[in-house]
Each structure stands twice: as structure tokens, then as C-alpha cells.
Amino acid sequence: MRLTLANFKDFQNRLAQKAQAKDGLRLIVGLGTCGVAAGGREVLAALEAELGRRGLRADIARVGCIGLCEAEVLVDVERDGERWSYGNMTPDRVPRLVEEEVVGGRRVEDWLVGLVGTPERPYPGLQFYAKQRRVVLKNCGFIDPENIEDYIAHGGYSALVKALSAMSREEIIAEVKRSGLRGRGGAGFPTGLKWEFTAGAPGDKKYVVCNGDEGDPGAFMDRSVMEGDPHSVIEGMIIAAFAIGADEGYLYVRAEYPLAVARLRLAISQAEDLGILGDGVLGTGFNFHLKIKEGAGAFVCGEETALLASIQGERGMPRPRPPFPAIQGLWGKPTNINNVETYANVPTIILGGGDAFAAVGTERSKGTKVFALTGKIARTGLPEVPMGLTLRELIFEVGGGIKEGRGFKAVQIGGPSGGCLPESLLDTPIEYDSLTQAGAMMGSGGLVVLDDRTCMVDLARFFLNFVQSESCGKCVPCREGTRRMLEMLVRFTRGEGRPGDLERLEELAQVVKESSLCGLGQTAPNPVLTTLRYFREEYEAHVLHRRCPAGVCRALCAFYIDPSRCKGCGKCLDACASGAISGVRKEPHVIDPARCIRCGACEAACAFGAVLTGSPDEAPAGEASPNPAASAAAAPGDRSPRRGGESRG
């Protein structure tokens, strides 16, 4: 069937009624990449097998990520409109769930996550959702991303119908401008303004492009949207294409997201079948063809001019701007390029109006932002919060604070382009400008929480290593500058820092920031600059005192064995090539710091997590390790301590 502006509403109403009338039993399995990675497919198979074995019939729905990564795999049971969610499901748990909940109709309290509410407020009982406001993610976890009818039944493509039937191109752009929407990919350029530039650029042939090259380590917001609600992105792109006068579009998705590619591909073909994409969109004279381009593994392709070069089949190297893509983009034609989350906001803006959208957020940052909350945080997941919420609220109220009750040290926001902010800046509101002012940036929304066992010098080295290997090599400051910075940081972590290094590092970082060609190089020094600014004493400890206070940098810390965890199995002793470990079987072993070469072999060999590392002055080396000679003398002959590296008697 082909939809038109005239018959769309009827079609939608029929689907909505059908969805409403669904009584009886429905099982819902979360199968985003997170759900799958946690074993979702195995749980689904076990569920199907168990139902089959009992001869039960139930509708099993597969949905995208609801944002509660910590509790994956999630299986929900919906009966007569009431939906209860069960977390951390495994195939072993399936028979009991079916027995008690499906057959018996009783809650299985042990695994219950909670009652699932509305898409705007998924779990009314969970603190994780209390401060959230779901606009972009509202369908994720609620609709079947592989079924366009489910999207339409939940109000999908209504914004497109409204735009095509009741709005002019100028009105659409004005509405987006009024919403105050800014680019969600990181830089925060006003979306409406970008559309206006592209619409006004001379030329008949124009393109829209979606940047789904989510390459920041620690970020998975765009993946979740593409996997959980692909049509919202497509709808946003069609509206943009209509507004700027484009008839062709590309969705550029990174190679590491096969599930997102598969779901988008399916979504496009379903939209084509219904006449929502292709020639004569919804029976109008507007044509729009959408294609997927899979990335081939290059972080720099997240930069817009590099991304365009990659679509054209070239090496993904950025070029200087201006001219901006809005004037000269794909194949030299005016091109509007936005991020996944930006497009996914568009249908809401068109349907509800720009003013309603702008009512959420702060003066200069409107709407919501999705964050990937990870690292040493109690509740990892994918919260969507109103702009203006403070980092403290996001980390401690939404995220539940630090894992295992450790101390908060820093929050890394914005990925390799962002920075590390300390405790004293936790009251910074989440908005583009305040984060930039603090030395970090909104970035795409990766937020990695670090506890007191994280070494900031090591973390800066980690990011530098990443950007250095991803530098495309076109401009000298980025290609050479990041390499020299990395070399310095590596030396610090090995205890080979020299006086004056910190000043040199700071100066070089500033040069790279100011003189690099594209966003990658211009922001690459941010993790170094912010850690130098907020955690300078930690750098000084490494460079001047050859100490790693967090006990992370191998060369600068001591290995020791926690006597309360050590079972005396002797595995560490066998693994030690330098003969630094001694001990009696079934009694706690000890490491001799003088012989230890800090290779970590004992740590890898220990099955009980008893081998620990710490700053040399904290490791209980003195009292805890008895003098091997003395204990040898005291021990009976057949239980004399063995030493690693010696042959077994």
C-alpha cells in the first residue's frame, strides 16, 4: 500500500486502534546492542523454547534499548495493558519466569525492576528516571524498531505529514530556529540557521546527510537511537530535505554498528514500500531518496568535511572551511549535515512547535540531551535529561553515585575532544557554553565517571594515544604535535619525566589547539589541558617524585598481595619469572618489592583478585611481608616457602 497525505490519518488511526486493542499477553525483550551483548538472544531463544514446551502462545516483541544498561537483559511481561519489567535475565531464569508470571500471573519479586509507565516516564519507581525527560528516546524500548507500523501507531510520520501539508519551507525553518535546537554532535551550531544557509545556497541539486559516525570512545547515544527508533531519524531527515530543497540524502553510519545498519536499511525499505521515501513522498511532488553509507573505520570521519570526502569514496581527510558544506558540500553541492540526535529531535519540534521545545532547557541550550553514562558509576545507562541539569544531579541522582562506594574523582565529558572536570565543578549546568568555559565540551554526550583509583595522567595518555592514532596526518600540528605530546605522557607514566616537561607539554598543547586544521586536532589537547589544570599535583607526582598516587601506572607503583584474599594456591608464584614471590601453600604469599619487575604476571594469574597495586608508600610492604629468611627458619622443613622462578621440589 502507498500512503498519501489524504489517507495517512486513517491508516494511522487504524494502526493505533489495533495497538490499543491488543489484549492478552505480550512478552517484550530488549534487543539493542547492549541487550544482545548481555545475552538477549539466548534469553529470547530460551523464552521461545519454554513457551513452546508448554504449548503456550504469546506475542513476543523485540524492542530497542530503554536506557537501563545496568539491568540488561530486560524481559517485560505485559498483560492487559500492565507491563512489568524483569532485569538481569538469563536463560536459566526463564523457566521460573514463565511458570510464575506467565502461567501463574504472579510477580517474581526477586528479579523485578519495576512497573513500566509511559514512554515519557518509563519506570515511575526508579530514581534513574526521576529527573529524565525523554524526547529523543521516547520510543526506544517501546516500539518494535523493525516494524514501521509500530512507529506510525505511536504517532510516527505525523510531523512529516504536517510539514508537507500545512507548512511552507520557510515556516519549517522558522519553527526549527524558534526551537533553539543546536547540533547534538558536539559543536552546538544552531540547526535552524544551518538549514537556512543550505536552503538559501545557490544551486538546484542539494543533499542532506546524517552523521552517524559516532566514534567517541564512551559514547553510544546515536547507536541506541538508530537501533531503537530508526524512523525518527529518517523522518527528521525527510523534513530537513523538504525544507532545504534536497532530493537525495545519505546516512553515514560507522562500521562498528552492524545492528544499526541492518535496522536502518530495513526501515528505509519499509518507508519506501509505503511511499514515505522515494519519488513523490506521500503522494506529493517532493522526491527524496535516502541511502546508507557504511563507514570504514576512521574516527576523523566524524568531522563533517572528512565525512563528505568519505561518502565520495576518498580518504576521509578534512579540508579547510569556509566554504562550509552548506554552500559547497557533497560533490560540491550545498549540503546540510546534522547528527543523528539532532534529526531525531525534529519531528517533536514540528509537531509540538518550536516554543514548546524551547520551554525545556536554559537560555542558550534548549531541549534535552542524551548521555551515555558509563565508567565507575553505580547505574550505567542512557539517560536523557533537560539541559541545565547540573553534572552533580546527573551523576549522583540519575546515576546513583560512584560504584562500590568509592570516592568521586573526575568526570570525563565529551570524549577525546572533551575534558576532565573535578568535584569542584560538579555544579556546572549541562549546557554548551558553560561546559566549554570549564575547558570541556558537550561533545556528543559520552560521560565517563572516574573514581579515586583512576590515574589522570594515564587517562590523558589514553586519549592522546587515541587521537594520535586517529589523526589523518594532513596538518602538521595535529600529526606531529599529538605524537610529541603522547611521547611525553608515556614518559611520565614510566617515571621518566624531566623537569620542565609540564611547561613544554602545556605550551605544545596550546599550539596544537590553536593551529590544527579541523576539530579533531583543535580539541585533541583538551583532555591534557583540563587534567593539567585541575589535577596538576598528580602530574607533578609522576614527573617530580616518580609516584603514581592512584596506583595505576605500573612502573610507578608497588605490587602487593592482600593477605585476606590470598588462598595460598601458588599460581602467582609459578607465574613470577623474577622470583619475587614467596609463600607457603595455603597461606598468604608475599611479593618482594626489591625483586618485583612490575610485569603484572601475578595479577593476571590470580583467580581471587588478591594481587593489588598501589602507590609505593601505601602498599603494606613493610609489616605485611614477613622476612622470607625468618619465616623459612621458623617453618617446618616440608613446608618451607617456595619462591617463584625456582623449580618445584
Partner 1 sequence: MRGEPVEDSGKLGALLDRYRGQPGALIPLLQDIQREMGYLPRPALEEAARALGLPAVKVYGVATFYAQFHLKPRGRHVCRVCLGTACHVRGGERILSRVSADLGIAPGDTTPDRAFTLERVACLGACGLSPAMMVDDQTFGRLTPDKASRLLRRFAREAPDGGGGGGRTAE
The contact set with partner 1 (CB under 8 A) reads 33-34, 36-38, 41-42, 45, 69-70, 72, 146, 214-220, 223, 255-259, 262-263, 265-266, 293-299, 310-316, 331, 372-376, 380-382, 412, 415, 446, 448, 450, 454, 459, 462-463, 466, 470, 472, 604
Residue 255 or residue 597: which is nearer to partner 1 going by CB? 255
Burial class (CB in 10 A: 0-12, 13-18, 19+), 497: buried
Secondary structure (DSSP) of 445-459: SEEEEEETT--HHHH
Q: Which residues contact 533 (CB under 8 A, 6 or more apart)?
A: 439
Give pairs for 586-594: CB < 8 Å, separation 24+. Answer: 588/561, 588/563, 589/561, 590/560, 590/561, 590/624, 590/625, 590/626, 590/628, 591/559, 591/560, 591/561, 591/621, 591/625, 592/625, 592/628, 593/558, 593/559, 593/560, 593/619, 593/621
Q: Which is nearer to partner 1, 566 or 601 (CB)?
A: 601
| Contact (Cβ atoms closer than 8 angstroms) between residue 89 and residue 73 | yes
Nearer to partner 1, 25 or 576 (CB): 576
- Indicate the residue among 108 and 259 with the shorter CB distance to partner 1: 259
3-state secondary structure of 411: strand
Which residue shows C-alpha cell 530486560?
A: 74
The residue (of 99 and 452) whose beta carbon lies closer to partner 1 is 452
Closest distance between partner 1 and the C-beta of residue 200, in Å? Answer: 26
Residue 182 DSSP symbol: B
Phi-psi region of 275 (alpha: psi -120 to 50; beta: other; left: phi over 0): left
Residue 377 has what DSSP assignment? B
Closest CA to 342 of 205, 113, 186: 186
Nearer to partner 1, 448 or 502 (CB): 448
Question: Which CB atom, from 90 or from 165, has the smaller least distance to partner 1?
Answer: 90
Rounded to a whole number of angstroms, the minimum distance from the CB of residue 570 to partner 1 is: 19
User: Is residue 479 within 8 Å of residue 510, measured between CB atoms?
Assistant: no
Residue nearer to partner 1 on the CB measure, 41 or 121: 41
Residues 422, 220: Cα–Cα separation, whole Å: 23
Cβ closer to partner 1: 118 or 312? 312
Smallest separation (angstroms) from partner 1 to the CB of 269: 9
For the CB of residue 178, give the shortest distance to partner 1 in the complex, in Å. Answer: 33
φ and ψ at 568, to 5 degrees? 70, 35
Rounded Cα distance between 88 and 472, Å, is 41
Its sign, for the CA torsion 441, 444, 450, 454, is: negative
Question: Among residues 164 and 601, whose Cβ is nearest to partner 1?
Answer: 601
Q: Least CB distance from residue 38 to partner 1, whole Å? A: 6
Contacts of 309 (CB under 8 A, 6+ apart): 315, 316, 317, 318, 319
**Closest-CA residue to 215 (of 155, 335, 295):** 295
Residues paired with 28 in a beta bridge: 61, 76
CB of 641 to partner 1, least distance (A): 27
Q: How far is the CB of 628 from partner 1 (least distance, A)?
A: 29
Q: How far is the CB of 347 from partner 1 (least distance, A)?
A: 22
Residue 468 C-beta-side C-alpha neighbours within 13 Å: 20
Q: Is the Cβ of residue 176 or residue 309 nearer to partner 1 in the bound state?
A: 309
Cell numbers linked to 443: 561533545
Among 29, 16, 90, CA closest to 64: 29
Determine how β-strand 558-561 pairs with β-strand 590-591: unpaired
Q: Select 333 or 643, whichever has its Cβ closest to partner 1.
A: 333
Closest separation in Å from C-beta 64 to partner 1: 11
Rg (CA), the chain: 28
The grid coordinates listed for 282 are 506521500
Cβ 382 to partner 1, closest distance in Å? 7
Our CB check for partner 1 shows the closer of 371 and 534 to be 371
41 vs 479, beta carbon nearer partner 1? 41
Quote the least distance from Cβ 432 to partner 1, whole Å. 21
Q: How far is the CB of 464 from partner 1 (least distance, A)?
A: 13
CB of 552 to partner 1, least distance (A): 10
State in angstroms the smallest separation of the CB of 226 from partner 1.
10
Pair 241, 249: CB distance under 8 Å:
yes
Own/partner long-range contacts of 98-107 (Cβ < 8 Å, ≥24 apart): 98/47, 98/50, 98/51, 98/54, 98/56, 101/77, 102/25, 102/27, 102/51, 102/56, 102/58, 102/77, 103/54, 103/56, 105/79
